[in-house]
């Protein structure tokens, strides 16, 4: 955790808010990065069966990100659409 607690707020509630924001920021970043990596793996997948198995898991990750407002729901929809098209295109 960063040491910027000292040089900012003096209110107890504001200090707690800063702590919470930091924890949430890191958690959101982790989820977002995990989903991006999963998408990358899926995009590079050549085997249709494996890709078809991964797709629902990736879609689920994207839905969770959209639900928590980490990414916009339209962006999630676009990504899901593209990934689904990609999987269907595989021979």
Average pLDDT over residues 24-51: 93
Query: For 28-37, what is the mean pLDDT?
Result: 95
Distances (CA, A) of 11 to 15, 25, 69: 6, 21, 28
Cα–Cα distance for residue pair 25/30, rounded to 1 Å = 9
CATH 1.20.58.110 correct for 11-89? yes
Q: Is the pLDDT of residue 64 over 80?
A: yes
Task: Say what the pLDDT of residue 8 is.
Answer: 72
pTM for the model stands at: 0.77
Burial category of 57 from C-beta neighbours within 10 Å (exposed 0-12, middle 13-18, buried 19 and up): exposed
Number of neighbours of residue 17 by Cβ within 10 angstroms: 12
């Amino acid at each position: 955790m960063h040491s910027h607690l000292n040089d900012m707020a003096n209110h107890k509630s504001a200090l707690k808010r800063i702590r919470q924001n930091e924890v949430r920021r890191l958690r959101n970043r982790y989820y977002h990065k995990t989903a991006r990596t999963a998408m990358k793996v899926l995009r590079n997948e050549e085997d249709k069966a494996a890709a078809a198995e991964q797709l629902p898991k990736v879609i689920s990750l994207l839905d969770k990100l959209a639900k928590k407002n980490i990414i916009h729901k339209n962006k999630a929809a676009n990504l899901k659409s593209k990934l689904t098209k990609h999987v269907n295109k595989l021979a």
